């Protein structure tokens, strides 16, 4: 376990020693004594938060509702800077799921998670409580990761898969870091545009154009965190100009590029996800 320090933020962060047996699944462990109004920055993965500690993270959602405990959120959660996390004595395993595998593991299409946070109990019933209890009774992070991976691998093996054409289009978007031409995706997979758009949206939870924009933003945001200038990032990541980057960052986070460059939610990725699988499923 390593300690992440960023301004006033100080978290303990743990990483699995072995990759998941499920392609497109990554995870990290967090222990935070005082989680103070953390802005949730949109990310191109479905997020599964498994908390098990004495405290509990609280998510303030756009509807005004608060969600506590184990939750699931769709890709792009937090658009507009509308979701904040806080809490004390938080311990959790955070799992990032590629939208391509999310339906099999969760039991519902990511389309049902569009812009919302859902209690895991609503999806898995009593199984969610049993997982929380089991994680809390395990003494080490590596054992927690192994348990989590085994449980999710079983669900993945028994769940439905997405269409190969949809998966191919997603991986094309991710592999290009959001620079793939949306109009060309249908031709690449051999489908009509209408068919791909409908299947992509229903199976992955967001339309192709939104997926391209989100993946491109994610790559640009992490480059801003690494200290690169906004002008350089805009030029290298497919934006028309710096103003275009500024508008995109504001739309996704409700903050300027300079503010986003200092977000702990993004800065911790270097520790939590070494090699940064920021776009799950690559």
Q: Set out the domains of the chain in order of their start, with CATH numbers.
A: 2-158 (2.60.120), 164-272 (1.10.10.60)
Distance CA 21, CA 146 (A): 10
Q: What is the pLDDT of residue 278?
A: 40
- How much of the chain, in percent, has pLDDT values that exceed 70? 97
CA atoms within 13 A on the CB side of 187: 5
Block residue for tokens 């977000």: 263
Give the tens place of pLDDT for each residue, 8-34.
778 899 999 999 999 999 999 999 888
Q: Is the pLDDT of residue 50 over 70?
A: yes
Whether the per-residue pLDDT at 277 is higher than 60: the answer is no
Percent of residues, the chain, with pLDDT higher than 90: 68
275 pLDDT higher than 80:
no
pTM flag (> 0.85): yes
pLDDT at 265: 87
Lowest mean pLDDT among 103-117, 126-140, 181-195, 263-277: 263-277
Q: Reply yes or no on whether the pLDDT at 280 is more than 50.
A: no
Cα–Cα distance, 238 to 240 (Å, whole number): 7
């Amino acid at each position: 376990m390593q300690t992440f320090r960023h301004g006033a933020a100080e978290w303990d962060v743990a990483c699995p020693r072995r990759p998941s047996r499920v392609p497109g699944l990554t995870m990290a462990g967090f222990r935070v004594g005082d989680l103070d109004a953390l802005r949730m920055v949109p990310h191109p993965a479905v997020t599964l938060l498994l908390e098990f500690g004495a405290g509990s993270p609280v998510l303030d959602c756009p509807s005004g509702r608060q969600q506590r405990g184990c939750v699931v959120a769709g890709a792009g959660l937090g658009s507009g800077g509308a979701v904040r996390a806080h809490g004390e004595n938080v311990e959790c395993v955070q799992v990032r799921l590629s939208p391509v595998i999310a339906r099999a593991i969760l039991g519902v299409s990511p389309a049902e998670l569009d812009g919302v946070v859902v209690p895991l109990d609503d999806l898995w019933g009593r199984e969610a409580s049993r997982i929380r209890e089991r994680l809390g009774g395990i003494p080490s992070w590596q054992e927690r990761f192994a348990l989590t991976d085994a449980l999710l691998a079983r669900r993945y093996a028994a769940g439905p898969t997405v269409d190969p054409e949809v998966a191919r289009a997603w991986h094309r978007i991710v592999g290009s870091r959001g620079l793939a031409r949306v109009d060309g995706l249908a031709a690449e997979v051999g489908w009509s545009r209408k068919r791909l758009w409908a299947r992509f949206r229903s199976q992955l939870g967001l339309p192709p154009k939104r997926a391209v924009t989100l993946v491109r933003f994610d790559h640009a945001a992490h480059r801003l965190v690494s200290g690169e200038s906004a002008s350089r990032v805009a030029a290298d990541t497919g934006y028309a100009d710096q103003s275009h980057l500024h508008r995109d960052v504001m739309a996704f986070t409700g903050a300027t590029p300079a503010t986003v460059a200092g977000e702990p939610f993004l800065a911790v990725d270097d520790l939590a996800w070494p090699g940064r699988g920021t776009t799950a499923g690559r």
